Structure 1
Amino acid sequence: MRPRWPLHDRAVPVVAWRVGILLLAVTAEIWNIKNMLESGERASEHFAYFTVQSNLLVIALMAWMLVVPQWRRPRWFDHVRGAITAYIVLTGLVYAVLLAKPDEVWAWTIEYTNAAQHRFIPWMVGLDWLLVPAAGRIRLSRAAWWMGYPVAYLAASWLRGALVDGWFPYPFLDPGEHGGWAGLVWPTGQVLIAFVVGIFIVAGLGRLRYRESGVQAASRASTASSTSSRPYANSSP
């Protein structure tokens, strides 16, 4: 049996790291809400940004992992963790490649919420996924379902902009910025391709980094011991 990986779910450095992510995400969003109230920005617009939604998902994920022990989580939890990891990491990448102004990409003069939600939190969550193995083996076929949320977000954004109030959260979703709906094929297609590739990279890393947890190992050992002590348990009477 392989020695247990030191960065497991209840290791002190891992817990401290996740507490740090949680505090950073919470304070950044509180700061965002403060700015929203002061500026008069509509809540329906603020919470419609994928950045905000993915950071809220990170808050829920970190709180869940800190409060609920691994053995009490459902079997599908690792897919939820992987999906949220992919969403937040891709949030950072799409911002850096498509949305940030050229002088913002490497600048340190950007505001706190921007830096926290587009830089620090994405790489911190990504590192957590890389260094703290999933409790279950990630199936790439099931990881394809991780695209459900981005596709639903895309459809909802277009329906809102086209039928409700004409507002689009990002330039690559706005037909007015690209000469009509046909002009969105390339910019939106780039983002969707990035999400497909990014999701399968995250899922693939999760599959490679999978290690049997202590709880699983003990359960497996107990089952094996019980079976070996009753060699005829499965034979016909």
Structure 2
Amino acid sequence: MPVVAWRIAIVLMAALAEAWNIKNMLASGERASEHFAYFTVQANLLVIVVMAWMLLVPQSRRPAWFDHLRGAATAYIVLTGLVYAVLLAKPDEVWSWSIEFTNAAQHRIIPWLVALDWLLVPTARRIRFGRGAWWMLYPLAYLGCSWLRGLVDGWYPYPFLDPGEHGGWAGLLVPTGQVLLAFLIGIFLVAGVGRLRYRESGADAARSSARRAARPSSTSSSPHSNSSP
């Protein structure tokens, strides 16, 4: 029940923050195509989907790849908060709590809540580092799509993606490279925590024992090794 209550709180806060964002978007005349192009918004929407999925679908009915989806969502939202604090927040905003609710929720509170959920609630299956590397596909695709859109209509969601802010495309090497490196390290840290926190359940242990028992022993004799000619 504490885990269920925790995840309900995450869903409600994330949904309220995004609903507030949409209200502000409609009031300000901001284009929906710009609002939903922010990585922060996309990561928070993914958190809502993953948390709601865990609340509504029993663990036994989730697909085998679900733990990787959960891990990727955790990495994305945690890194969203980190990139905001290091690159995007104004100096007086980094430690201030006087910022608006949506900003605080999506960049601070929700990343912490999701990170603690990942830390305290083990995965159903062991996370493999090789498969965890696939979590980088989405940030790379986001990067490519953001640049492609910028070439079409001149709008970039973040300053570190805008060549006009850095004296041309060559100037993006350092800021964009820093963000990608942070994502790579962060993703493997999240995957590592998930792997360390994994605990085999009783049912998993029974299945593993059954599989080991079903394997033929390398020292066993063939069926006809002792038969008479």
- The two structures have a TM-score, normalised by structure 2, of 0.91
Q: Secondary structure at the match of 2:199?
A: coil
User: Quick one: which of 70, 81, 84 aligns to 2:73?
Assistant: 84
SS of 1:167 mapped into structure 2: coil
Instruction: Report how far residue 212 of structure 1 moved.
Output: 1.2
Alignment of 1:60-79 (within 5 A): 60-79=49-68
Pair 1:99 & 2:88 matched: yes
Aligned to 2:198: 210
Amino acid at match of 2:167: G
| Distance across 2 between alignment mates of 1:142 and 1:194 | 18
Q: Out of 195, 198, 201, which is 2:189 matched to?
A: 201
Answering whether residue 120 of structure 2 is matched by residue 131 of structure 1, we say yes
Kept in 2, the 8 Å contact 1:71–1:215? The answer is no
Aligned length: 218
2:5 corresponds in structure 1 to 16
Asked whether 1:191 is paired with 2:183, we answer no
The aligned counterpart of 1:8 is: none
Q: Report which of the two structures shows the higher radius of gyration computed on alpha carbons.
A: 2
Counterpart of 1:156, as a letter, is C
Match of 2:21 in 1: 32
Distance 2:205 2:17 in 1: 39
- Whether the 8 Å CA contact 1:28–1:117 is kept in 2: the answer is yes
Paired residue type of 1:154: L
For residues 115 and 207 of structure 1, the distance between their equivalents in structure 2, rounded to whole angstroms, comes to 30
Give the whole-Å Cα distance in 1 for the aligned partners of 2:36 and 2:80.
15
Return the alpha-carbon distance in structure 2 between the equivalents of residues 40 and 200 of structure 1: 39
User: Equivalent pairs: percent with the same residue?
Assistant: 76
> Any idea what the Cα deviations from partners look like across 1:94-121, whole Å, max 9, x if unmatched?
0000000010011011000000000000
2-structure distance, mates of 1:90, 1:24: 18
Give yes or no for the alignment of 1:153 onto 2:160: no
Letter in 2 for 1:82: G
Deviation at 1:134, TM superposition (A): 0.7
**Matches of 1:214 and 1:74, distance apart in 2:** 19
1:167 aligns with 2:158: no
CA distance in 2, matches of 1:236, 1:24: 64
Deviations 1:174-226 (A, max 9, x none): 000000000000000000000000000000111111111344245456x48x9
Instruction: Tell me the distance in 2 between the aligned counterparts of 1:214 and 1:94.
Output: 39
CA distance in 2, matches of 1:36, 1:117: 16
Which deviations, in whole Å up to 9, do the C-alpha atoms of 1:5-29 show, x marking residues without a partner?
xxxxxxx111110000000000000
Query: SS of the counterpart of 1:137?
Result: coil
Q: Name stretches of at least 5 consecutive residues in structure 2 with no aligned partner.
A: 215-221, 225-229
Alignment partners' CA distance in 1, 2:202 and 2:2: 17
SS class of match (1:65): helix
**CA distances 1:137-190 after superposition (whole Å, capped 9, x unpaired):** 11101111100000000000000001x210000000000000000000000000
Q: 1:220 and 1:139, CA in 2 relative to 1: closer, same or farther beyond 3 A?
A: closer
Aligned to 2:30: 41
